Chain A
Amino acid sequence: MTEPADWARSDRARERARDLSLLLAVLLALLGVVLLAVYFLALNGGAAPRLAELALARVPQSGVGNPVTAVLVNYRAYDTLVELAVLLAAVLGIWSQRPAPPGFQRSSAVLAGMVSWVVPLLIVTSGYMLWVGGYAPGGAFQAGALLGAAGVIVRLAGDPTAGLPGEAVQRWLLVLGVLMFALVGLALMLLGAGFLTYPPKLAKWLILLIESAATIAIGTALAAAYVGGRPSAKGQGPSAGEASAAPSSSSLGPRP
Chain B
Amino acid sequence: MSQPALLLAFDIVLLTTLLALALAAVLSPEPRRAVMLFIAFGLWLSLVWARLHAPDVALAEAAIGAGLGGALMLAAARRAARAAQRGTARRADDGAR
Contacts and interface: CB of A to CB of B under 8 A. Distances in A.
Interface of A: 66, 68-69, 129, 137-139, 141-142, 145-146, 148-149, 152, 222, 225-226, 228, 248
A244 to B, nearest CB: 16
Main secondary structure, interface of B, reads helix
Given A146-B63, A149-B67, A226-B72, A248 B55 contact: no
A66 B67 contact: no
Q: Which of A142, A222, A226, A228 has the most CB of B within 10 A?
A: A142
Given A149-B63, A149-B67, A225 B72 contact: yes
Given A137-B56, A226-B71, 19 more contacts: A68-B56, A68-B57, A137-B59, A138-B56, A142-B56, A142-B59, A142-B63, A145-B60, A145-B64, A145-B67, A148-B64, A148-B68, A149-B63, A149-B67, A152-B71, A225-B68, A225-B72, A226-B75, A228-B75
Contacts of A222: 64, 68
Contact of B68 (A66, A68, A145, A228): A145
Contacts of A69: 56
Contacts of B72: 225-226
Nearest to B67: A149
A137 B55 contact: yes
Interface residues of B, number: 14
B79 interface: yes
Interface in B39-97: 55-57, 59-60, 63-64, 67-68, 71-72, 75, 79, 82
6 contacts: A139-B56, A145-B68, A152-B68, A222-B68, A226-B68, A226-B75
Given A137-B55, A248-B82, A142 B71 contact: no
Contacts of B82: 248
A141 B67 CA distance: 13
Nearest to A228: B75
Contacts of B67: 145, 149
B69 to A, nearest CB: 10
A142 B64 CA distance: 8
Nearest to B64: A145
A139 B55 CA distance: 11
Contacts of B59: 129, 137-138, 142
B27 to A, nearest CB: 11
Contacts of A142: 56, 59-60, 63
A225 B63 CA distance: 15
A138 B62 CA distance: 12
A181 to B, nearest CB: 19
A245 to B, nearest CB: 14
Nearest to B57: A68
Contacts of A226: 68, 71-72, 75
Q: Which of B57, B63, B75, B79 has the most CB of A within 10 A?
A: B63
